[in-house]
Every structure is written in structure tokens, then in C-alpha cells.
Amino acid sequence: MGNLITVLDPVGFAPKVTRKTLAPRLPTLEDQTVYLVDCRFDDSDVFFKQMQAWFAEHLPGVRTVLKPISSVYLNDDPATWEEIKARGHAAIVGVGH
């Protein structure tokens, strides 16, 4: 008998994903508050500051709030989501690549 080797199958099983419907679109962003949520992924704060400057230049009637989450992107931040629900009209969430 020759030498035996063990081969492992690296194929995993993807988690079950439950679909959610998208939030309805706002008819306009004018006079609305848009949260730019920085999930603290590599240099995302730099990108969001550029995005905030773009809004100020091109859509000055839109108020933007740059909001970093309280921890790293792996941890949920319920307080931030509640703040956005209470004070914001829309959110752009940076989740990395």
C-alpha cells in the first residue's frame, strides 16, 4: 500500500439570507438631513469628508451629518441607528469593499 493523504473539502455553506425591502426613495433631498455613516473601514472617513464637501458644493440645501459608529464595523451600533431614525431622513452607510 502506498502513502495515504487526507484531502479536506474547503467548500462551506453560505448563511441563509433573509431579504428586506429597500426603504422608499425620498422625493427630494432638499431641506433633508442625510447621515454619512462611517463604519471605520480603512480610510472611509476621508471618503466621507469628500462626499460631505460634494454635497455642500452641489446640493447646498441638503444637511449632512458625518457620523462615525461607536466601535469597529464588526460591531452593531444601535444608538447610532436610533439617532438616524429620530433625526435623519436618509443615510449612506460605508461598509467597505
Percent of the chain with pLDDT over 90: 58
Q: What is the mean pLDDT of residues 87-96?
A: 89
Residues sharing a CB contact under 8 Å with residue 77, sequence separation 6 or more, in sequence order: 69, 70, 71
Total-model pTM: 0.76
Query: What is the average pLDDT value for the chain, to the nearest integer?
Result: 90
Residues sharing a CB contact under 8 Å with residue 78, sequence separation 6 or more, in sequence order: none
Residue 83 has pLDDT above 80, yes or no: yes
pLDDT tens column, 1-23: 678 888 888 888 888 989 999 88
Q: What is the mean pLDDT of residues 28-37?
A: 97
Rounded Cα distance, 36 and 65, in Å: 6
**3-state SS class at 93:** strand
Residue 37 has pLDDT above 80, yes or no: yes
pLDDT tens column, 56-75: 999 999 999 999 998 877 78
